[in-house]
Each structure stands twice: as structure tokens, then as C-alpha cells.
Amino acid sequence: MNESVESVREADAIAIERTLAGDRDAFRILVERHSATIFRLAYRLSGNHHDAEEIVQEAFLRAYQKLEQFASQANFATWVYRIAANYSIDRMRQKKKEDARRQAPSTEMSDDVEQDPLRQIPDAAPTPERLTQSVELKREMETALQSLTPAERIAFVMRHCDGCGIAEIALALKSNSSAAKNTVFRAVQKLRQALEPQLAPRAQARAMGTES
Amino acid sequence: MKHLSEEQLIAYQDGEAAGREEFSAHIAACAECKAELGRLTEMLAAFEALPVPDPGEDYGRRVWQQIAPRLEEKHSHWWPALLTPQRLMAGALVATLLLVAFLAGRVSKRVTPSDGGSPLTASTGTADAARVRERVLMLAVGEHLGRSEMVLMDIANAEPGSAGVKQVNFSSQRRRAEDLLDENRLYRQTALQEGDTGIANVLDELERVLLDVAHSPQTVTTAQIKSIRQRIDDDGLLFKVRVLTKQIQMRENTSKPGPAQSGAVRVERNNEA
């Protein structure tokens, strides 16, 4: 662990200890130091600024309420990140239920991507490099991300955007490592299928598992 | 072998160890699988590169303003604050020095030349007490200097979060300097009482910089940081702290209990220090 990470952890530990000793303002240091990281996660998960801000606020409120449960040897940044991920799952599931209630049963979303709008992505196929350049494609990628189930989205963002380990993802999903790994796999598989036309402008999809 | 299945390809890209050598060999030889792997890797890289809006330099402060009114006061527990390693160490130092002083007083009172005791025995007892006292102080000061050096290094390396930003979040350095101040005062006073002016002087200089840092605002400008750095550089403080830490380590090594050493020699070394 490098020195700056170590010093941040040390400073966090002091702030936590002061907060627990009744100095509420000491929690401010933790909020100010880690808000931007949580915002990045929240934005990737929610896809919009307003929801991301609400997730950040709620994550820190929950962290404050549960601070007595925080193990002093643990890393506060990881801990509050996990709280934000957990809350995001609950929030996305809740939102999904509400959306489903509002919509007619025939258009109700399921956890599958069978009705994924990305399946209708036009077949004009730019190169993968263009994925990071085209505004429209960025939007389509974001839509693809939003079409995943809450658990898949969290698992994917944690694994492939924030580089988290499977064990950490399992903790956020409140499942085991094997299930977390499967969730990451399903997410990648769905995104790949959704973006296949963008990525591979071939007439026929490649048949996997055939003899070379 | 067969082409990699989608599951194998995704697992391979994710660094899965099972079957890795075999898959690597196949991918190296199979243009189709190599291209699939390349596309998958690019897709994942593109997701990772999806832009996230910058919430702004003062975002943390805004979040705090939003949530602060909703935070309930926590019941104050005075004991966790006292149980920090730093405070425990400072407390232990005071207790040990008091105990050593008390025992030294008893020994020198009990065995004096007028009581018929040997003058050498009395001076040995006092010298041993002084030696223990010195070791306790050295251990504590050594630890303290190590932590202080980290704060000074942190200040030396403090930079704005991104290019073009002129403000630096200084709350971590400030808080740590604040914590070190109490200890620093205690060790400086003890060093003075022990007649160790070398240590007391460095601690005095350190205290001035720690005070500056502890009284800085949460966010400082790069110019303010530069001024604090300048002060550290002008005093050669980081260098002095490192030299003193080294000297303390050497003194600690040479003052470890060893084979027969006369009290007179030990007293001499204490005085040299």
C-alpha cells in the first residue's frame, strides 16, 4: 500500500473515531473526501445526475447511522462504496417495480434482455474505436447498461469500471463468489449481444464452440 | 481444439485461471478467436471510458450541507477518544517516567553514603533510572517523529486534484497535525526536563510548523501550500527530523541492555546526548 493511501486511511480512522466520540462535524471530512468516488459509481449505476446525487447522500447518511458497525481495521472508502452499491440495488429494484406497475403487463420489463431496446440498434457498424467518440453510441452504451438487471449492472460496473474483486462484488450483492461471478458473466454477455452490431459488422454472427 | 465458447472467452478476458494456458495457445493460433477477444476487450474498455460528469471541486462540501441537518447527534463516548494509539503512548510515557522517577528517588534515598551505603551503588541506581527514562522517551519520540515525517511528506506532495485547479483540500494534513501537536508539546517538555536540548530544539521547530498546518483552512491555495513548504525547506525540518530519527535509532540500539557496563560510562553517554 503506498504512503498516500495509508495516510488517507489513517486520517479516515481519526475522523471516524472523533465522530463516534460525539464530534458530528468530524464526519464532514469523510464526506468531503469520498463523495466524488461515490458519485462516479452512483452515476454509472443510475445514468443520471439527480439520482446519482441522491444515492451519494443516502450512502453517507447510512454510513453515519451504521458507523458503530464499522470495523476500525477496514477501509472506509470500500465500506461506504459497498453501502452505496447496496442502496443502489434496492433503489433500482424499487424503481423497476414502480415502472412495471405503471406500465401495461405486455410492456412490463423482465430481468431478461429479450425486449432490450438495444436489440434494435441499427446495423450500421462503426469501429470499436468510435464507441468512445460518438455521442450517439455513448448513449446506446448507457442504454445497454440501464437495460441490465440491477444486480448485473452493479456487478458489471464494479468489475469492469472500478476493478473490484469478485469477493467485494459478492459482498455488495449479498451473495457468494460463484453467484457474483455468474452475474458479471451474464452482464458482459448481454452487453456483448446488445452491442454486437456495433462491434462486429459481420453478416453472420460467429457460431461459438464449432471446430476451427 | 474448438473455438473458445462465449463463456470461455469472457472468463479468459476476465483473467480466469482455469484452462488459461490451453486457451492462450489457441488464441495465439486462431485469428477468429483473437479477433473476438479483441472486440470484447475493446467493448469493455469503451464502457470503462464512458464519461462521468465532474460533480465539481466543492461537491463534497455540498453533500455535507445537504446531509448535515439530517445527522442525529451521536452519544459521546469519552473512552474511544482516549484509546487512540497516540494518546495511549503519551499516557504510558508519562506514567513510566513518573514510576521511574519515583523508584529512582526511593533508591537514592535508601542507599546514601551517610547511611553507610556505597556512593557507587547510589550513582548506579540513579544512572539506571536515567537510562530507563531515556529509553522510554527515545521510543516514544522515535514513533512521534515517524508520524510527523509522514505529515511533512504529505504536505510536500500535496497537489490540486486536477490541472488548472488552484485549491488543495488540506483537511487530512490539518487534522493529523492537530493530533500530533499535543504529543509534540509533551515530548518537547519532557526532553527539556531531561536536559536533551537537541531533541527539544527539533521538536520546537516541528511544533511551529504543526501549529501552522493545524490552523490552516480546510482548503488552501497552492500559494499557501508553497509558503508552508518554503518554511519547512528553510528550516531544513524534514532533514532534521530524519537525522534525529536516525540518531534515536542508533542511541536506542546502543542503549539496549547488554553485558556489564559501568554506571559511570552510561551516565556519560546520557550527558553526551
Residue of B163, B138, B157 lying closest to B225 (CA atoms)? B157
The pLDDT of residue B256:
58
Please name every residue paired with A211 in a beta bridge, in sequence order, or none if there are none.
Answer: B2
Q: Tell me if chain B has a CB within 8 Å of the CB of A108.
A: no
Please name every residue paired with B220 in a beta bridge, in sequence order, or none if there are none.
Answer: B168
Residue A16's alpha-carbon distances to A66, A206, B59, B60, B77, in angstroms, are 11, 54, 20, 17, 13
Least-confidence region, from A111-120, B83-92, B235-244: A111-120
pLDDT 10s digits, A115-168: 333 333 333 444 545 555 567 778 888 889 989 999 999 999 999 999 999 999
**Cell for A13?**
480512522
CA distance B220 to chain A (A): 14
| Three-state SS annotation for A104-122 | CHHHCCCCCCCCCHHHHCC
Q: Is a pLDDT exceeding 60 seen at residue B273?
A: no
The pLDDT of residue A212:
41
Out of B46, B150, B171, closest to residue A132 by CB: B46
The pLDDT of residue A52:
95
Describe chain B by its helix, strand, coil percentages, rounded to 5: 75, 5, 25
B173 backbone φψ class: left, alpha, beta (φ>0; ψ -120 to 50) = alpha
| Mean pLDDT, all residues of chain B | 75
H-helix or E-strand containing B138?
A: helix B119-157
R_g of chain B computed on alpha carbons: 30
Contact A31 B67 (CB under 8 A): yes
Q: Which residues contact residue B54 at a Cβ distance below 8 angstroms, ignoring those fewer than 6 apart? A: none
DSSP string, A1-70: --HHHHHHHHHHHHHHHHHHTT-TTHHHHHHHHHHHHHHHHHHHHHSSHHHHHHHHHHHHHHHHHTGGGS
DSSP string, B219-272: EEEHHHHHHHHHHHHHHTHHHHHHHHHHHHHHHHHHTS--S---HHHHHHHHHH
Least-confidence region, from B78-92, B114-128, B217-231: B114-128
Please report where in the chains the cell 441490465 appears, as a residue: A148
CA distance B209 to chain A (A): 18
Q: Tell me if chain A has a CB within 8 Å of the CB of B49.
A: yes
CA atoms within 13 A on the CB side of A7: 23
Selected residue with higher pLDDT from B81 and A46? A46
Using a CB-CB cut-off of 8 Å, the residues of chain B touching A33 are: 60, 169, 171-172
- Please state the length of chain A: 212
pTM confidence score: 0.54
The pLDDT of residue B102:
63
- The Cα A82–Cα A80 span in angstroms is 5
Q: Tell me if chain B has a CB within 8 Å of the CB of A209.
A: yes
Please report where in the chains the cell 455535507 appears, as a residue: B64
Out of B32, B74, B154, closest to residue A7 by CB: B154
Selected residue with higher pLDDT from A129 and B56? B56
Q: Which residues contact residue B196 at a Cβ distance below 8 angstroms, ignoring those fewer than 6 apart? A: B134, B137, B273
The helix/strand/coil state of A83 is: helix
Using a CB-CB cut-off of 8 Å, the residues of chain A touching B39 are: 128, 199-200
Closest chain B residue to A4, measured at CA: B154
How confident is the model over B20-34, as a mean pLDDT?
91
- The Cα A55–Cα A158 span in angstroms is 16
Using a CB-CB cut-off of 8 Å, the residues of chain B touching A188 are: 10, 14, 40, 44
Q: Is a pLDDT exceeding 60 seen at residue B111?
A: no
Burial class (CB in 10 A: 0-12, 13-18, 19+), A200: middle
Residue B236's alpha-carbon distances to B141, B200, B216, B239, B243, in angstroms, are 19, 16, 21, 5, 11
Label residue B264 by pLDDT band (50, 70, 90).
very low
Using a CB-CB cut-off of 8 Å, the residues of chain B touching A22 are: 73-77
